[in-house]
Amino acid sequence: MRDYKIKIENVVASTQIGENIDLNKI
């Protein structure tokens, strides 16, 4: 369960970073 929780946190963080990158590309 701990690894699963870490993966979810990484996905959330990468999603937030991805949104920022997408805004910069536009």
The structural domains of the chain, with segments of one domain joined by +, span 1-26
d(C-alpha 2, C-alpha 5), whole Å: 5
Q: Name the residue type at position 23.
A: L
pLDDT digits (tens, 9 = 90+) for 1-26: 688 888 888 788 777 776 766 666 65
Half-sphere exposure of 3 (CA within 13 A, CB side): 0
Please give the structure tokens belonging to residue 11. Answer: 């996905």
Q: What is the pLDDT of residue 23?
A: 66
Q: What is the pLDDT of residue 26?
A: 57
d(C-alpha 2, C-alpha 19), whole Å: 26
Q: Concatenated DSSP letters for 1-26? A: -HHHHHHHHHHHHHHHHHHHHHHHH-
Q: What is the pLDDT of residue 10?
A: 78
Is the pTM for the entire model greater than 0.85?
no
